[in-house]
Structure 1
Amino acid sequence: MTDPTYVFVHGSNSNSFSWAPLMRELALLGHRALAVDLPGHGFSAPFPVSYQAPQDLGALASTPSDLAGVTLADAVDHVIGVLRRAGEHGPVFLVGHSRGGATLTGVGNKAPELVDRIVYISAWCCVDLTVGEYMATPEYATSALGDTAGVLTGDPATLGALRMNWRTADPALLAALKKAMLADGSEQEFLAYLNTLEPDESLDAGTERVDAATWGRIPRTYIRLARDTSIPIALQDRFIREADALTPDNPFDVRTLESSHVGFLVHPEEAAALLTDRQFSTK
């Protein structure tokens, strides 16, 4: 197989910038890669003036978001447009993290011919249930995100988006966020990572589940993050198990990294080596 182009899809409140260290490693190994900014993210992300320093917490909780009305379908269509262009240069591996998995599933359902391999990195891969339904299961119950609700501000229905105040100075909340996101990183790395995040995220996580007839025919890999306390390893394994039961003739190629939810983005060497492994690439 010709070397693929790796197309990366970010998770919630994130952007293409989060993939820069991993793409640097891939480039140093001689591979092409690009990262997508989903609609309303990256340089088009809404940053209310009230989010700046000093913060106006009242305005932050009440100023409507420019992300209001942005849907998962918008994200899927945007990525499909990127894949059409990337595919002009050879095979494409579509890689998603966390909430980005919902976009991967939508793309795989709608345009499987554009994807030569689909790769979930501790990402939502809805098979039997929707995102909301999985969040009510025992496998999700241990998620450390339950202790981070204080980062949310305002009424999502009024704002038209989920709004997080990543610039909080609350020490207990910061400790809970570090445990959920980057328990294996330093305090400096954690605070630097928080400053790459965007305050607003689309309300629409979608209800789409994998389609055996389309998504199910794409070669696929699931990279488990063994130290992830945001999407617990039990839930990651449930996604894998349910998908393999749906399409047993095309099971997940399963790999594991000893990483927290975002640790592999901060220290990407092992992830880059895994993604470029020849056995992985040719399966």
Structure 2
Amino acid sequence: MSPTFVLVHGAFANSFSFAPLQAELGLLGHRSVAVDLPGHGFAATFTHAYQAPQDAAGLASAPGAIKGVTLADNVAHLIGVLERAKQHGPVILVSHSRGGLTATAAANARPDLIDRIVYVSSWAPVDLEVGAYYAEPEMATVDPASLALALAGNPAELGLLRVNFRTADPAALAAFKAAFLADGTDEEFLTFLNTFQPDENLDTGTADDRAQADTWGRIPKAYVRLTEDASLPLALQDRLIREGDALTPDNPYQVRTLPGSHLKWLTAPAEAARVLAELAG
């Protein structure tokens, strides 16, 4: 029975970004499901203040549906999808970027629902919580303040992180392009940027949500490295692989490598689809 790929997006993203990849997987004969985590996709908040002309004060204060959404909420939603997908055969769980937090916690909770877990330049924390990795040498090239160039409102007051991806500030746009799609054209970059949603939840989990050897560690796993990723640098990807292998030395990662930035594998997904199909086989 052929597997179902379940695809989990990263921060500020949604299922829409997986459409080109799903087309390539379909043409290779594979079915897939792209998940919208709570508060994402058609459940996201796009206020009138976010439209043009923008209302900066309104954007900084308008409530957002994702306020109060937790990692546990994301995990519960993903497990519901996995349960339905599992009724039709093997399941391959694929996560990107921040989506790895949800995938890892779901694998801790329900390893029976996942036949293989694949991280594509994705968070799979083992030794530290996510925030702590930002102080480590592998993340020295990442400037978390780049999002602050277009930050809208006070996260503590809003109860969420809001970024104005429709900004016209050239410094902010340059920082976004360098972080996400430095190897894409300006047209590709602006197109992808307009698939992002402004709001993201604040919960990145606790130590209990890191990979656990007796549950997560039983699932065959793979890591797809992105060599030019400026958001989750290759050095950090390699560290996460090493930590996962040390946690479960009898079940090491299958490692694959793709050239490109954080988002290039989604704008030009043919090779990524072939890699995923090969891992499925």
TM range (shorter): over 0.9
Structure 1 position 103 matched with structure 2 position 109: no
CA 1:179/1:144 → structure 2, altered by over 3 Å: closer, same or farther? farther
Q: CA deviation at 1:147?
A: 3.2
Any idea what SS the aligned residue of 1:60 has? helix
Alignment of 1:124-203 (within 5 A): 124-203=123-202
State the AA in 2 paired with 1:181: F
Q: Taking structure 2 as the reference length, what is the TM-score of the superposition?
A: 0.97
Is the CA contact 1:224–1:257 (under 8 Å) kept in the aligned structure 2?
yes
Structure 1 position 18 matched with structure 2 position 21: no
Is the CA contact 2:147–2:163 (under 8 Å) kept in the aligned structure 1?
no
Distance 1:210 1:11 in 2: 18
Q: CA deviation at 1:281?
A: 2.4
Structure 1 position 269 matched with structure 2 position 280: no
Distance 1:236 1:144 in 2: 17
Aligned residues: 279
Is the CA contact 1:64–1:158 (under 8 Å) kept in the aligned structure 2?
no
Q: Summarize deviations over 1:53-74 as a string: whole Å, max 9, x none.
A: 1100011112222211100000
Is the CA contact 2:245–2:253 (under 8 Å) kept in the aligned structure 1?
yes
Structure 1 position 225 matched with structure 2 position 230: no
Distance 1:105 1:150 in 2: 30
Percent pairwise identity? 61
Q: Summarize deviations over 1:118-147 as a string: whole Å, max 9, x none.
A: 000000111000001111111111125543
Is the CA contact 2:9–2:36 (under 8 Å) kept in the aligned structure 1?
yes
Unmatched tracts of structure 2, length 5 or more: none
Unmatched tracts of structure 1, length 5 or more: none
Distance 2:146 2:39 in 1: 27
Distance 2:112 2:260 in 1: 31
Distance 2:143 2:255 in 1: 24
Q: CA deviation at 1:206?
A: 1.0
CA-atom RMSD, angstroms? 1.0
Any idea what SS the aligned residue of 2:121 has? strand
What does residue 57 of structure 1 align with? Answer: 56
Q: Taking structure 1 as the reference length, what is the TM-score of the superposition?
A: 0.97
Distance 1:238 1:244 in 2: 10
Distance 1:70 1:154 in 2: 18
Alignment of 1:77-116 (within 5 A): 77-116=76-115
Distance 1:134 1:17 in 2: 29
